[in-house]
């Protein structure tokens, strides 16, 4: 065949040239390869409430199998509006201010695409969830990285203020925080409210772990603070709340003008979200107990895991929220503690049989502070098996 007419794939220039396989995929694959207990990727290894599955079946049998309205099933948006008012005191219109999304990751991307124009700056607080930066880059925005205070992972408001310029379009925050497990206080949120008040900076508030806050603390949603709620996209996840991460259903709550722009993008990147699951979630939300009791459920697992880790040479970092526990490795044997975080996690998976995630993977510059992250959203037997192996350290 003439080479000039031979089939070929045209070359292209990558929109995300720096993006490869995520650390979560790498560590999960390694864990499967060597038979390690996988405490790396953040998902439960236990089932959801059977009643929620039954509700999906009933919705399918009732004929809820075609496209729902683009913003989401009205009953689910109404249920979310009721929850937001009951928990956070925010009255929002389910018709114009709540949109059902294909999970929180799609919600974040859609919010960014809706408001960020080429050249706009978006502030991210590192360490941060791995989708934030690629999303900003896909929108043509400029990523401005501001580190949380190393060790404590508290917001550095002086650094945030210094990063705001006339080109700043949005700030992204995440509380309870993945990967550190830290939780922003009411004082933190009030400081942020005062900082943003004289600006036109929008807020993207990633609150997917909102129902996992421990030791009697209260989740400080942006919805509680009028000056933040008026400029915020508030993102929630049914997958995280109800142990159904594979369903990929979330919500975005935002003032009507922001929601209007959000939906312009939403209708063209997913259009709408799985119909029977939306009906099932709406019915299931009639009882608030499952999400109101979630903090107690996960605090018990956190305490079980922390008690076991306390018998090892890991240094326990505070775990105020989420289902992640971070530990320092600087007190381990010299050969292990001197490894970079990523290499340590590889060693831990192969030699000890427990998979973790290096915190350096959540920084753009790979900042290594000798800290790794475990996920404790697992059956008690899974956690005990992991602790038995970690006791060898």
**What is the pLDDT, as a whole number, of residue 299?**
98
Q: What is the pLDDT of residues 123-164, one digit of tens each?
A: 999 999 999 999 999 999 999 999 999 999 999 999 999 999
Residue 2 has pLDDT above 80, yes or no: no
Going by their DSSP bridges, the two strands 202-206 and 315-316 should be labelled as: unpaired
> Residue 283 — pLDDT band, cuts 50, 70, 90?
very high
CB atoms within 10 A of CB 47: 11
Domain limits, the chain: 23-42+292-390, 50-286
Residue 37 has pLDDT above 90, yes or no: yes
Please report the DSSP string for 137-179 in residue order.
Answer: HHTTPEEEEEEPPTTT----HHHHHHH--TTEEEEEEESSPTT
pTM over 0.85: yes
Question: Averaged over 71-79, what is the pLDDT?
Answer: 98
Residue 120 has φ and ψ, to the nearest 5°, of: -65, 150
Token pair, residue 62, equals: 């009732």
Q: What is the pLDDT of residues 239-256, one digit of tens each?
A: 999 999 999 999 999 999
**What is the pLDDT, as a whole number, of residue 252?**
98
On whether the 50-286 domain is CATH 3.40.640.10, my answer is yes
Mean pLDDT over each residue of the chain, to the nearest integer: 96
Class (C level, CATH) for 23-42+292-390: alpha beta
**What is the pLDDT, as a whole number, of residue 321?**
98
> Residue 23 — pLDDT band, cuts 50, 70, 90?
confident
Q: What is the pLDDT of residues 339-369, one digit of tens each?
A: 999 999 999 999 999 999 999 999 999 999 9
Q: Which of 44, 34, 130 is nearest to 348 (CA)?
A: 34
Token pair, residue 187, equals: 């004082």
Residue 82 has pLDDT above 80, yes or no: yes
Question: Averaged over 42-53, what is the pLDDT?
Answer: 96
**What is the pLDDT, as a whole number, of residue 1?**
57
Q: What is the pLDDT of residues 84-127, one digit of tens each?
A: 999 999 999 999 999 999 999 999 999 999 999 999 999 999 99
Express as a percent the part of the chain with pLDDT over 70: 99
Going by their DSSP bridges, the two strands 121-126 and 232-237 should be labelled as: unpaired
Residue 24 has pLDDT above 80, yes or no: yes
Residue 296 has pLDDT above 70, yes or no: yes
Q: What is the pLDDT of residues 192-228, one digit of tens each?
A: 999 999 999 999 999 999 999 999 999 999 999 999 9
Q: Which residues, in sequence order, are CB contacts of 132 under 8 Å at separation 6+?
A: 108, 124, 172
> Residue 5 — pLDDT band, cuts 50, 70, 90?
confident
Residue 274 has pLDDT above 80, yes or no: yes
Query: Could you write out the three-class secondary structure of 288-304?
Result: CHHHHCHHHHHHHHHHH
**What is the pLDDT, as a whole number, of residue 268?**
97
Q: Which residues, in sequence order, are CB contacts of 13 under 8 Å at separation 6+?
A: none
Going by their DSSP bridges, the two strands 371-375 and 357-358 should be labelled as: antiparallel
**N-term to C-term CA, the chain:** 62
> Residue 71 — pLDDT band, cuts 50, 70, 90?
very high
């Amino acid at each position: 065949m003439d080479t000039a007419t031979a089939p070929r794939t045209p070359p292209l220039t990558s929109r995300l040239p720096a993006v490869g396989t995520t650390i979560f995929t790498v560590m999960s694959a390694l864990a499967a390869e060597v038979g390690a207990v996988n405490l790396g990727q953040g998902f439960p290894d236990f089932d959801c409430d059977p009643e929620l599955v039954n509700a999906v079946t009933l919705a399918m049998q009732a004929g809820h199998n075609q496209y729902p309205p683009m913003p989401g099933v009205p009953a689910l948006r109404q249920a979310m509006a009721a929850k937001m008012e009951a928990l956070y005191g925010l009255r929002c219109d389910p018709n114009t201010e709540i949109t059902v999304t294909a999970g929180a990751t799609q919600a974040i991307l859609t919010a960014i695409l809706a408001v960020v124009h080429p050249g706009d700056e978006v502030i991210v607080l590192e360490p941060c969830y791995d989708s934030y930066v690629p999303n900003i880059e896909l929108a043509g925005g400029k990523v401005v990285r501001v580190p949380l205070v190393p060790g404590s992972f508290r917001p550095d408001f002086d650094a945030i203020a210094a990063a705001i310029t006339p080109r700043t379009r949005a700030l992204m925050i995440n509380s309870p925080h993945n990967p550190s497990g830290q939780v922003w206080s009411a004082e933190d949120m009030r400081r942020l409210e005062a900082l943003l008040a004289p600006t036109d900076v929008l807020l993207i508030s990633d609150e997917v772990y909102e129902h996992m806050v421990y030791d009697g603390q209260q989740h400080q949603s942006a919805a509680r603070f009028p000056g933040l709620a008026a400029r915020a996209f508030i993102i929630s996840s049914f997958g995280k709340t109800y142990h159904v991460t594979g369903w990929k259903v979330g919500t975005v709550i935002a003032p009507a003008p922001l929601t209007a722009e959000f939906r312009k993008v939403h209708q063209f990147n997913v259009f709408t979200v799985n119909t029977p699951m939306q009906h099932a979630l709406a019915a299931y939300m009639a009882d608030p107990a499952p999400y109101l009791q979630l903090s107690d459920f996960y605090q018990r697992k956190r305490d079980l895991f922390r008690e076991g880790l306390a018998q090892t040479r890991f240094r326990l970092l505070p775990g105020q929220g989420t289902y992640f526990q971070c530990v320092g490795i600087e007190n381990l044997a010299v050969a292990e503690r001197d490894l970079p975080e990523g290499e340590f996690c590889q060693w831990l998976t192969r030699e000890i049989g427990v998979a973790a995630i290096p915190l350096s993977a959540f920084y753009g510059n790979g900042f290594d502070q000798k800290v790794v992250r475990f996920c404790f959203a697992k059956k008690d037997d899974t956690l005990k098996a992991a602790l038995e192996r970690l006791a060898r350290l």
